[in-house]
Copies of this chain bind each other. A is one copy, B any other.
Amino acid sequence: MQLTREDWIKAGLQQLADEGIHKVRIEALARLLKISKGSFYHYFRDHQELLDSMLDYWEVHATKLIVQSMEQQDASLEQLLQISFNRDKKMEIGIYTWAKYDPVVAERLVDIEEQRISCVAKLYQKKGINNAESIDRARLAYLTYVGWMTRFEENPNFDIDKMVELLTSFSG
């Protein structure tokens, strides 16, 4: 079966999730796809173009669509946080770690995370919390999410339910 450009991108993203951005190498992907590396250059000018394409692909498939569906579905704050904390995080943490090495990725991540934060902030407002505090609380929830994503695989002592409970309870 003939490969497509998208096959290379998916293989790159899979490798990113499994091994990190530094293992996203043309020859390694070619081995995984059981094809010669020569054909890679039919679909991409160079290694960088693959990386760019991977980020584009992820941005559309893993983020924009999710934010949209959350805005539509009218989910509760608790539900949104539970969904966020429970989704498969391997790809996501791969992207975040990648951003630590690539300023272009880092920049695009800021846009995405600000979207996510304002999404959460709206749900805090729905619970009757004022505008300013809603944003602060959304930022806190988001940072907790990033921290959890970073550490939950290595340290199993973090209880999602407890975190969500604390993040969604009012302060006195």
List the interface of chain A (C-beta within 8 A of B).
Answer: 20, 22, 93, 96-97, 99-101, 106-107, 109-110, 113-114, 136-137, 139-140, 142-148, 150-151, 154-155, 157-159, 162-163, 165-167, 169-172
Contacts and interface: CB of A to CB of B under 8 A. Distances in A.
Nearest to A150: B146
Contacts of A163: 136, 139-140, 143
B166 A140 contact: yes
Contacts of A101: 20, 22
Contacts of A99: 154
Given A146-B147, A147-B142, A20 B155 contact: no
22 contacts: A20-B101, A100-B150, A109-B154, A113-B151, A113-B155, A114-B157, A136-B159, A136-B162, A136-B163, A136-B165, A139-B159, A140-B144, A142-B147, A143-B151, A143-B158, A143-B163, A144-B147, A147-B147, A166-B171, A169-B172, A170-B172, A172-B172
Q: Most chain-B Cβ atoms within 10 A of its Cβ — which of A100, A113, A157, A170? A: A100
A112 to B, nearest CB: 10
Contacts of A158: 139, 143
Q: Which 3 A-B pairs have the closest CB atoms?
A: A143-B147, A146-B147, A147-B147
Contact of A144 (B97, B143, B172): B143
A139 B113 contact: no
Nearest to A156: B110
Contacts of A110: 154-155
A96 B100 CA distance: 11
